[in-house]
Amino acid sequence: MDVRLWEYLQRILTARVYDVAVETPLERAEKLSARLGTPVWLKREDTQPVFSFKLRGAYNKMVRLPADQLARGVVCASAGNHAQGVALSARRLGCRAVVVMPVTTPRLKSDAVRGFGAEVVLHGDSYSDAYQHAAELGAANGLTFVHPFDDPDVIAGQGTVGMEILRQHQDPIHAIFVAVGGGGLLAGVAAYVKAVRPEIKVIGVQMTDSDAMARSVRSGERVRLNDVGLFSDGTAVKQVGEETFRLARELADGFIEVDTDAVCAAIKDVFEDTRTVLEPAGAMGVAAVKQYAAEHGPHIGSLVAVTCGANMNFDRLRFVAERAEAGEGREALFAVTIPEERGSFRRLCEVIGRRNVTEFNYRISDERVAHVFVGLAVTDRGEAAATGRAFTESGFAALDLLDDDLAKDHIRHMVGGPSPLASGERLYRFQFPERPGALVKFLTSMHPDWNISLFHYRNQGADYGRILVGVQVPDATAFRAFADTLGYPWVDETENPVYRLFLR
């Protein structure tokens, strides 16, 4: 065995982490295993006291500092999980901790760090600015810098995750999937696994827009990225560590890159199995397991994903829930073009048939044709493609928007605006119990002589669906009579000033 590997094995076996960390469970994800046709196991690092594995490395580093160094205190730079690991460890060891965070850090996170008794210094716009400032503060005040990943004691602390997995699962394991930012977790897990059970593959997982380690390993030297995607903030690192690079390059069996939609879908998968919401970095391993199983087929053997964090901003959930459907291919999105004539809306509804509508947006804008933004619930990408063909066969041009970020992030919220063609339009808002077919029932019961000039509906996962509809009715009383027969609560919004400001 390589001398350095032997040294890491020793460091990991003697790492001190359990004063603050717990041995987390390795749980079988039943639903995901059944879906993928191979056993999937989750190493539940999201259940640590600070909701991520990061306290293992931070504590192992700090507890080993000579007493006089510890007495002077420590400093670190972090916008998230490492900060909490350092702060909790400092409280346990009774030492001073200064945490430099970018000024853009959400209050929730800086408050959590202060809650552990650490001093928070807000500095700079980015992690790099905070890092620079932390190094300066450390030098000026005699504080020891605790690196988030590029330190043998930090790597060894994270390596205890690998040690626990092998102890908890003594049957064969095909591969372990580890999210990578700076590479501390990957390096530690790989060092232990390759020393003890080298036949198990250790696979690093990166975001497609933040893949410094995969690129560095490919090019044989550490590369620095100019920009990194921030969705998975835990792994948004521009340059990996020297030591983590050396270990990952030697020991990792490969890398898998996953995208935002796949990570959102993985957050949902883990929620369905455990009722826990992971943060994006925490779900990357699961997204990679799914990708790997899809490529290698079922019955491949046990796949372990480290679910490494759950520090999720609550206000991100809406985005995650929306993208999870797209990531699974369970929502198909189309721009469907239909003739601007009476009855064509209804014909469109007939093609949609009994499929569940998730979104329906339209604003009159052309005398000849209408472009409708349509979302439909489907079981997979195959059904989405079949639905696209069904539109085309019925004479409606349909543009598939599933992989179009412009459509998913912006255009769906922008369908609308004033139209010179909307003369005589009246605006109504309806509420109806959310159930399959309810929207199509509403559309098909409209009087064929009324032209629909505006329509907005988005399934929000609520018990009631909300529809906004603009109709060109010669007589408002006739529409009221129709609306009353539907039996759903409704409001006439024609005189609402916001309608006049944005839609007339």
Binding site for ligand PLP (CB under 6 A): 52, 54, 80-82, 148-149, 158, 179-186, 234-235, 279, 281-282, 308-309
- Closest residue by beta carbon to ligand PLP: 309
We find the least distance from the C-beta atom of residue 153 to ligand PLP, in angstroms, to be 13
Please give the angle made by the CA atoms of 287, 293 and 297, to the nearest 5 degrees. 160
Residue with Cβ nearer ligand PLP (83 or 338): 83
The secondary structure of 57-97 as a DSSP string is HHHHHHHTS-HHHHHH-EEEE-SSHHHHHHHHHHHHHT--E
We find the least distance from the C-beta atom of residue 287 to ligand PLP, in angstroms, to be 13
The CA distance from 13 to 9, in Å, is: 6
* Among candidate residues 355, 359, 380, the one with its CA nearest the CA of residue 436: 355
- Are 499 and 427 within 8 A, CB to CB? yes
Residue with Cβ nearer ligand PLP (179 or 265): 179
We find the least distance from the C-beta atom of residue 267 to ligand PLP, in angstroms, to be 12
Query: 68 CB contacts (<8 Å, ≥6 apart)?
Result: none
* Among candidate residues 145, 239, 149, 240, the one with its CA nearest the CA of residue 188: 149
We find the least distance from the C-beta atom of residue 80 to ligand PLP, in angstroms, to be 6
Residue with Cβ nearer ligand PLP (184 or 375): 184
We find the least distance from the C-beta atom of residue 392 to ligand PLP, in angstroms, to be 43
Torsion of CA 386, 388, 392, 396, to 10 degrees: 140
What ranges in 297-437 are assigned the alpha helix state H? 317-327, 344-352, 381-393, 405-406, 412-414
Please give the angle made by the CA atoms of 175, 179 and 181, to the nearest 5 degrees. 145
We find the least distance from the C-beta atom of residue 230 to ligand PLP, in angstroms, to be 13
Residue with Cβ nearer ligand PLP (234 or 327): 234
Residue with Cβ nearer ligand PLP (162 or 465): 162
We find the least distance from the C-beta atom of residue 184 to ligand PLP, in angstroms, to be 3
Query: What's the full length of the chain, in residues?
Result: 504
The CA distance from 461 to 215, in Å, is: 39
Residue with Cβ nearer ligand PLP (279 or 328): 279
Residue with Cβ nearer ligand PLP (285 or 375): 285
